[in-house]
Structure 1
Amino acid sequence: MNQIKFAVSLLVVSATLAGCQTRNPKVAEDQKSRLSETVTLQQQLLSTADAIERNSQLLAEASNTRAAVEKAQLSPTQQLKMDKAANTKEPYGMTAKISFVWEAGPIQEVARQMAIRSGYEYMQPEGSVPAIPVMVKINAREQSIASILRDAGLQAGSRADIVVDEARRKVLVRFFD
Protein backbone atom coordinates (compact mmCIF):
# COMPACT_ATOMS: atom_id res chain seq x y z
CA MET A 1 0.00 0.00 0.00
CA ASN A 2 2.84 2.37 0.82
CA GLN A 3 4.34 1.65 -2.57
CA ILE A 4 1.12 2.70 -4.30
CA LYS A 5 1.00 5.94 -2.27
CA PHE A 6 4.64 6.53 -3.09
CA ALA A 7 4.01 5.89 -6.81
CA VAL A 8 0.97 8.20 -6.88
CA SER A 9 2.89 10.91 -5.00
CA LEU A 10 5.82 10.55 -7.37
CA LEU A 11 3.43 10.85 -10.34
CA VAL A 12 1.80 14.00 -8.91
CA VAL A 13 5.19 15.60 -8.15
CA SER A 14 6.45 14.71 -11.64
CA ALA A 15 3.38 16.22 -13.28
CA THR A 16 3.72 19.37 -11.20
CA LEU A 17 7.38 19.75 -12.04
CA ALA A 18 6.66 19.13 -15.72
CA GLY A 19 4.49 22.24 -15.64
CA CYS A 20 7.51 24.25 -14.50
CA GLN A 21 9.58 23.13 -17.45
CA THR A 22 10.92 25.99 -19.56
CA ARG A 23 8.99 26.80 -22.66
CA ASN A 24 9.79 25.64 -26.07
CA PRO A 25 12.74 27.73 -27.33
CA LYS A 26 10.90 28.37 -30.59
CA VAL A 27 7.97 29.93 -28.70
CA ALA A 28 10.36 32.15 -26.71
CA GLU A 29 12.01 33.30 -29.96
CA ASP A 30 8.60 34.11 -31.46
CA GLN A 31 7.75 36.23 -28.42
CA LYS A 32 11.07 38.08 -28.67
CA SER A 33 10.41 38.69 -32.36
CA ARG A 34 6.92 40.05 -31.64
CA LEU A 35 8.27 42.29 -28.89
CA SER A 36 10.91 43.61 -31.26
CA GLU A 37 8.26 44.30 -33.92
CA THR A 38 6.09 46.09 -31.35
CA VAL A 39 8.99 48.31 -30.27
CA THR A 40 9.79 49.10 -33.92
CA LEU A 41 6.15 50.01 -34.61
CA GLN A 42 6.02 52.24 -31.53
CA GLN A 43 9.17 54.05 -32.68
CA GLN A 44 7.70 54.54 -36.15
CA LEU A 45 4.48 55.86 -34.61
CA LEU A 46 6.39 58.37 -32.46
CA SER A 47 8.43 59.45 -35.47
CA THR A 48 5.26 59.98 -37.50
CA ALA A 49 3.65 61.98 -34.68
CA ASP A 50 6.74 64.22 -34.48
CA ALA A 51 6.66 64.75 -38.25
CA ILE A 52 2.96 65.69 -38.11
CA GLU A 53 3.62 68.20 -35.32
CA ARG A 54 6.52 69.78 -37.24
CA ASN A 55 4.43 70.00 -40.41
CA SER A 56 1.52 71.57 -38.50
CA GLN A 57 3.85 74.24 -37.14
CA LEU A 58 5.25 74.90 -40.60
CA LEU A 59 1.73 75.19 -41.99
CA ALA A 60 0.75 77.67 -39.26
CA GLU A 61 3.86 79.76 -39.94
CA ALA A 62 3.08 79.73 -43.67
CA SER A 63 -0.49 80.82 -42.88
CA ASN A 64 0.81 83.69 -40.74
CA THR A 65 3.13 84.79 -43.53
CA ARG A 66 0.28 84.62 -46.03
CA ALA A 67 -1.95 86.69 -43.73
CA ALA A 68 0.77 89.33 -43.38
CA VAL A 69 1.24 89.46 -47.16
CA GLU A 70 -2.51 89.72 -47.71
CA LYS A 71 -2.75 92.56 -45.19
CA ALA A 72 0.10 94.38 -46.92
CA GLN A 73 -1.80 94.10 -50.21
CA LEU A 74 -4.90 95.77 -48.75
CA SER A 75 -5.67 99.35 -49.62
CA PRO A 76 -4.96 101.96 -46.92
CA THR A 77 -8.71 102.23 -46.28
CA GLN A 78 -9.03 98.49 -45.75
CA GLN A 79 -5.97 98.47 -43.48
CA LEU A 80 -7.48 101.32 -41.46
CA LYS A 81 -10.72 99.37 -41.13
CA MET A 82 -8.75 96.35 -39.97
CA ASP A 83 -6.84 98.45 -37.43
CA LYS A 84 -10.07 100.03 -36.15
CA ALA A 85 -11.52 96.57 -35.65
CA ALA A 86 -8.49 95.76 -33.53
CA ASN A 87 -9.17 98.77 -31.29
CA THR A 88 -12.90 98.28 -30.75
CA LYS A 89 -14.57 97.64 -27.40
CA GLU A 90 -14.25 94.06 -26.23
CA PRO A 91 -17.49 92.08 -25.97
CA TYR A 92 -18.98 91.37 -22.56
CA GLY A 93 -17.45 88.27 -20.99
CA MET A 94 -14.35 88.36 -23.20
CA THR A 95 -12.25 90.77 -21.16
CA ALA A 96 -10.78 88.11 -18.87
CA LYS A 97 -7.01 87.95 -19.17
CA ILE A 98 -5.77 84.43 -19.86
CA SER A 99 -2.67 82.66 -21.10
CA PHE A 100 -3.27 80.43 -24.10
CA VAL A 101 -0.74 78.53 -26.19
CA TRP A 102 -1.89 76.95 -29.43
CA GLU A 103 1.09 75.60 -31.37
CA ALA A 104 -0.65 75.10 -34.69
CA GLY A 105 -4.19 74.11 -35.46
CA PRO A 106 -7.47 74.94 -37.13
CA ILE A 107 -9.04 78.31 -36.40
CA GLN A 108 -12.38 76.68 -35.53
CA GLU A 109 -10.87 74.96 -32.48
CA VAL A 110 -9.40 78.20 -31.14
CA ALA A 111 -12.79 79.91 -31.58
CA ARG A 112 -14.55 76.99 -29.86
CA GLN A 113 -12.20 76.98 -26.87
CA MET A 114 -12.42 80.76 -26.43
CA ALA A 115 -16.23 80.60 -26.65
CA ILE A 116 -16.29 77.98 -23.90
CA ARG A 117 -13.92 80.00 -21.69
CA SER A 118 -16.02 83.14 -22.04
CA GLY A 119 -19.39 81.44 -21.53
CA TYR A 120 -20.46 81.95 -25.13
CA GLU A 121 -21.97 79.29 -27.37
CA TYR A 122 -19.86 78.07 -30.28
CA MET A 123 -21.86 77.82 -33.52
CA GLN A 124 -21.06 75.76 -36.60
CA PRO A 125 -18.94 77.60 -39.18
CA GLU A 126 -20.57 79.60 -41.96
CA GLY A 127 -19.47 79.26 -45.57
CA SER A 128 -17.57 76.43 -47.19
CA VAL A 129 -15.08 74.87 -44.79
CA PRO A 130 -11.86 74.55 -46.80
CA ALA A 131 -10.34 71.13 -47.44
CA ILE A 132 -7.04 72.42 -46.07
CA PRO A 133 -7.77 73.92 -42.66
CA VAL A 134 -7.06 77.56 -41.92
CA MET A 135 -4.23 77.12 -39.41
CA VAL A 136 -3.39 79.59 -36.66
CA LYS A 137 -0.73 79.78 -33.99
CA ILE A 138 -1.39 81.55 -30.69
CA ASN A 139 1.06 82.27 -27.89
CA ALA A 140 -0.86 84.61 -25.60
CA ARG A 141 0.31 85.60 -22.14
CA GLU A 142 -2.22 87.45 -19.99
CA GLN A 143 -4.31 88.67 -22.94
CA SER A 144 -8.05 89.09 -23.15
CA ILE A 145 -10.10 86.40 -24.83
CA ALA A 146 -11.28 89.00 -27.35
CA SER A 147 -7.69 89.86 -28.33
CA ILE A 148 -6.88 86.16 -28.77
CA LEU A 149 -9.86 85.79 -31.10
CA ARG A 150 -8.81 88.97 -32.92
CA ASP A 151 -5.28 87.58 -33.37
CA ALA A 152 -6.65 84.32 -34.78
CA GLY A 153 -8.89 86.26 -37.17
CA LEU A 154 -5.98 88.39 -38.37
CA GLN A 155 -3.89 85.29 -38.99
CA ALA A 156 -6.69 83.86 -41.11
CA GLY A 157 -6.44 86.89 -43.40
CA SER A 158 -9.02 86.93 -46.16
CA ARG A 159 -9.79 83.22 -45.81
CA ALA A 160 -11.87 83.39 -42.63
CA ASP A 161 -13.11 85.64 -39.87
CA ILE A 162 -14.28 85.04 -36.31
CA VAL A 163 -17.67 86.57 -35.57
CA VAL A 164 -18.70 87.36 -31.99
CA ASP A 165 -22.41 88.07 -31.48
CA GLU A 166 -22.40 89.79 -28.10
CA ALA A 167 -26.21 90.14 -27.94
CA ARG A 168 -26.82 86.42 -28.43
CA ARG A 169 -23.53 85.37 -26.79
CA LYS A 170 -22.45 83.26 -29.75
CA VAL A 171 -19.12 82.76 -31.56
CA LEU A 172 -18.65 81.37 -35.05
CA VAL A 173 -16.08 81.16 -37.81
CA ARG A 174 -17.07 82.53 -41.21
CA PHE A 175 -15.15 81.17 -44.20
CA PHE A 176 -14.74 83.08 -47.45
CA ASP A 177 -14.07 81.58 -50.87
Structure 2
Amino acid sequence: METSRAIWTIPNLISVVRIVLVAVFGALLVAEQDGWAIVVLAAAGVSDFLDGFLARRWGQVTQLGRILDPTADRLLTIVVVLGLLARDIIPWWLVLVLLARDVMVGVVLLYGWSKRVRSPHVTYVGKAATAALYVFFPLAYVSFERVDVLHTIAIVGASLAAVVYWWAGVGYVRDVLSRVADSARAAEESDASPA
Protein backbone atom coordinates (compact mmCIF):
# COMPACT_ATOMS: atom_id res chain seq x y z
CA MET A 1 0.00 0.00 0.00
CA GLU A 2 1.26 3.48 -0.92
CA THR A 3 2.09 5.82 1.93
CA SER A 4 0.93 9.42 1.93
CA ARG A 5 2.50 12.54 3.43
CA ALA A 6 -0.70 13.36 5.36
CA ILE A 7 -0.24 14.25 9.01
CA TRP A 8 -3.71 14.81 10.46
CA THR A 9 -5.31 11.39 10.11
CA ILE A 10 -7.33 9.49 12.69
CA PRO A 11 -4.81 6.59 12.83
CA ASN A 12 -1.97 9.08 13.47
CA LEU A 13 -4.05 10.77 16.18
CA ILE A 14 -4.63 7.37 17.81
CA SER A 15 -0.85 6.75 17.81
CA VAL A 16 -0.28 10.14 19.48
CA VAL A 17 -2.92 9.30 22.09
CA ARG A 18 -1.08 6.02 22.74
CA ILE A 19 2.13 7.94 23.40
CA VAL A 20 0.24 10.10 25.93
CA LEU A 21 -1.19 6.93 27.50
CA VAL A 22 2.38 5.67 27.98
CA ALA A 23 3.15 8.63 30.25
CA VAL A 24 -0.16 8.23 32.10
CA PHE A 25 0.45 4.51 32.62
CA GLY A 26 3.98 5.17 33.93
CA ALA A 27 2.69 7.76 36.41
CA LEU A 28 -0.08 5.44 37.62
CA LEU A 29 2.34 2.52 37.97
CA VAL A 30 4.76 4.59 40.06
CA ALA A 31 1.85 5.85 42.18
CA GLU A 32 0.74 2.19 42.63
CA GLN A 33 -2.71 2.99 41.24
CA ASP A 34 -2.89 -0.51 39.85
CA GLY A 35 -6.54 -0.57 38.81
CA TRP A 36 -6.30 2.60 36.74
CA ALA A 37 -2.91 1.58 35.37
CA ILE A 38 -4.42 -1.65 34.00
CA VAL A 39 -7.30 0.29 32.41
CA VAL A 40 -4.83 2.67 30.72
CA LEU A 41 -2.63 -0.23 29.58
CA ALA A 42 -5.68 -1.98 28.10
CA ALA A 43 -6.64 1.22 26.26
CA ALA A 44 -3.09 1.50 24.90
CA GLY A 45 -3.25 -2.12 23.73
CA VAL A 46 -6.56 -1.52 21.93
CA SER A 47 -5.17 1.64 20.32
CA ASP A 48 -2.20 -0.36 19.04
CA PHE A 49 -4.52 -2.61 17.08
CA LEU A 50 -6.89 0.18 16.07
CA ASP A 51 -4.44 2.62 14.48
CA GLY A 52 -2.96 0.05 12.10
CA PHE A 53 -6.34 -1.50 11.29
CA LEU A 54 -7.94 1.85 10.48
CA ALA A 55 -4.91 3.05 8.50
CA ARG A 56 -5.13 0.02 6.23
CA ARG A 57 -8.93 -0.05 6.10
CA TRP A 58 -9.30 3.64 5.23
CA GLY A 59 -6.21 3.86 3.03
CA GLN A 60 -4.57 6.27 5.49
CA VAL A 61 -1.13 4.68 5.72
CA THR A 62 1.20 7.67 6.09
CA GLN A 63 4.92 8.26 6.34
CA LEU A 64 4.37 9.84 9.76
CA GLY A 65 2.28 6.86 10.85
CA ARG A 66 5.09 4.49 9.90
CA ILE A 67 7.23 6.35 12.45
CA LEU A 68 4.60 7.10 15.11
CA ASP A 69 3.17 3.57 15.42
CA PRO A 70 6.42 1.68 16.12
CA THR A 71 7.69 4.57 18.28
CA ALA A 72 4.56 4.38 20.43
CA ASP A 73 4.97 0.59 20.64
CA ARG A 74 8.60 0.85 21.72
CA LEU A 75 7.89 3.56 24.30
CA LEU A 76 5.05 1.56 25.78
CA THR A 77 7.12 -1.62 25.91
CA ILE A 78 10.02 0.20 27.59
CA VAL A 79 7.80 1.92 30.19
CA VAL A 80 5.89 -1.28 30.93
CA VAL A 81 8.94 -3.52 31.35
CA LEU A 82 10.91 -0.98 33.40
CA GLY A 83 7.88 -0.23 35.57
CA LEU A 84 7.13 -3.91 36.18
CA LEU A 85 10.82 -4.55 36.87
CA ALA A 86 10.88 -1.70 39.41
CA ARG A 87 7.97 -3.36 41.19
CA ASP A 88 9.69 -6.82 40.98
CA ILE A 89 6.77 -8.18 38.95
CA ILE A 90 8.87 -9.50 36.04
CA PRO A 91 12.45 -10.88 36.08
CA TRP A 92 15.43 -8.73 35.07
CA TRP A 93 16.56 -11.15 32.35
CA LEU A 94 13.24 -10.76 30.50
CA VAL A 95 13.66 -6.99 30.60
CA LEU A 96 17.19 -7.31 29.17
CA VAL A 97 15.98 -9.57 26.36
CA LEU A 98 13.24 -7.13 25.34
CA LEU A 99 15.30 -3.96 25.67
CA ALA A 100 18.25 -5.51 23.77
CA ARG A 101 15.90 -6.25 20.87
CA ASP A 102 14.58 -2.69 20.87
CA VAL A 103 18.11 -1.25 20.97
CA MET A 104 19.12 -3.46 18.04
CA VAL A 105 16.13 -2.42 15.94
CA GLY A 106 16.50 1.22 16.94
CA VAL A 107 20.15 1.37 15.93
CA VAL A 108 19.43 -0.24 12.56
CA LEU A 109 16.48 2.08 11.92
CA LEU A 110 18.69 5.11 12.65
CA TYR A 111 21.29 3.67 10.27
CA GLY A 112 18.59 3.23 7.62
CA TRP A 113 17.33 6.78 8.07
CA SER A 114 20.91 8.09 7.80
CA LYS A 115 21.08 6.32 4.41
CA ARG A 116 17.69 7.79 3.45
CA VAL A 117 15.88 4.47 3.13
CA ARG A 118 12.28 4.09 4.20
CA SER A 119 11.56 2.34 7.46
CA PRO A 120 10.07 -1.14 7.05
CA HIS A 121 6.37 -1.82 7.36
CA VAL A 122 5.29 -3.19 10.72
CA THR A 123 4.71 -6.91 10.19
CA TYR A 124 1.91 -9.12 11.47
CA VAL A 125 4.54 -11.16 13.34
CA GLY A 126 5.75 -8.01 15.10
CA LYS A 127 2.20 -6.91 15.89
CA ALA A 128 1.33 -10.39 17.18
CA ALA A 129 4.37 -10.43 19.46
CA THR A 130 3.58 -6.95 20.80
CA ALA A 131 -0.08 -7.91 21.31
CA ALA A 132 0.97 -11.04 23.22
CA LEU A 133 3.21 -8.93 25.46
CA TYR A 134 0.23 -6.60 26.06
CA VAL A 135 -1.74 -9.64 27.23
CA PHE A 136 0.91 -11.33 29.37
CA PHE A 137 2.33 -8.24 31.09
CA PRO A 138 -1.05 -7.12 32.49
CA LEU A 139 -1.69 -10.74 33.53
CA ALA A 140 1.64 -10.76 35.38
CA TYR A 141 0.74 -7.40 36.88
CA VAL A 142 -2.68 -8.39 38.26
CA SER A 143 -1.66 -11.89 39.39
CA PHE A 144 1.60 -10.89 41.14
CA GLU A 145 1.49 -11.98 44.80
CA ARG A 146 -2.16 -12.99 44.31
CA VAL A 147 -2.31 -16.07 42.06
CA ASP A 148 1.11 -17.68 41.67
CA VAL A 149 0.04 -20.09 38.92
CA LEU A 150 -1.30 -17.26 36.75
CA HIS A 151 1.83 -15.22 37.37
CA THR A 152 3.99 -18.15 36.25
CA ILE A 153 1.85 -18.60 33.12
CA ALA A 154 2.21 -14.88 32.39
CA ILE A 155 6.01 -14.97 32.68
CA VAL A 156 6.26 -18.09 30.49
CA GLY A 157 3.88 -16.53 27.95
CA ALA A 158 5.82 -13.26 27.93
CA SER A 159 9.06 -15.21 27.45
CA LEU A 160 7.61 -17.02 24.41
CA ALA A 161 6.29 -13.70 23.09
CA ALA A 162 9.82 -12.28 23.54
CA VAL A 163 11.15 -14.98 21.20
CA VAL A 164 8.63 -13.97 18.53
CA TYR A 165 9.41 -10.30 19.27
CA TRP A 166 13.08 -11.01 18.50
CA TRP A 167 12.15 -12.93 15.37
CA ALA A 168 10.18 -9.92 14.12
CA GLY A 169 13.06 -7.62 15.11
CA VAL A 170 15.56 -9.64 13.09
CA GLY A 171 13.14 -9.41 10.16
CA TYR A 172 13.08 -5.60 10.47
CA VAL A 173 16.88 -5.49 10.62
CA ARG A 174 17.23 -7.66 7.51
CA ASP A 175 14.66 -5.53 5.69
CA VAL A 176 16.47 -2.26 6.48
CA LEU A 177 19.89 -3.67 5.58
CA SER A 178 18.48 -5.03 2.32
CA ARG A 179 17.00 -1.60 1.48
CA VAL A 180 20.35 0.07 2.24
CA ALA A 181 22.18 -2.43 -0.01
CA ASP A 182 19.61 -1.92 -2.81
CA SER A 183 19.95 1.85 -2.50
CA ALA A 184 23.76 1.65 -2.65
CA ARG A 185 23.60 -0.63 -5.72
CA ALA A 186 21.20 1.74 -7.45
CA ALA A 187 23.49 4.69 -6.70
CA GLU A 188 26.53 2.81 -8.07
CA GLU A 189 24.66 1.86 -11.26
CA SER A 190 23.52 5.46 -11.69
CA ASP A 191 27.11 6.73 -11.29
CA ALA A 192 28.42 4.10 -13.71
CA SER A 193 25.90 4.89 -16.46
CA PRO A 194 27.14 7.17 -19.27
CA ALA A 195 26.17 10.82 -19.00
- Larger strand percent: 1
- Larger helix percent: 2
* TM-score, normalised with respect to structure 2: 0.24
* TM-score, normalised with respect to structure 1: 0.26
Which protein shows a greater Rg? Answer: 1
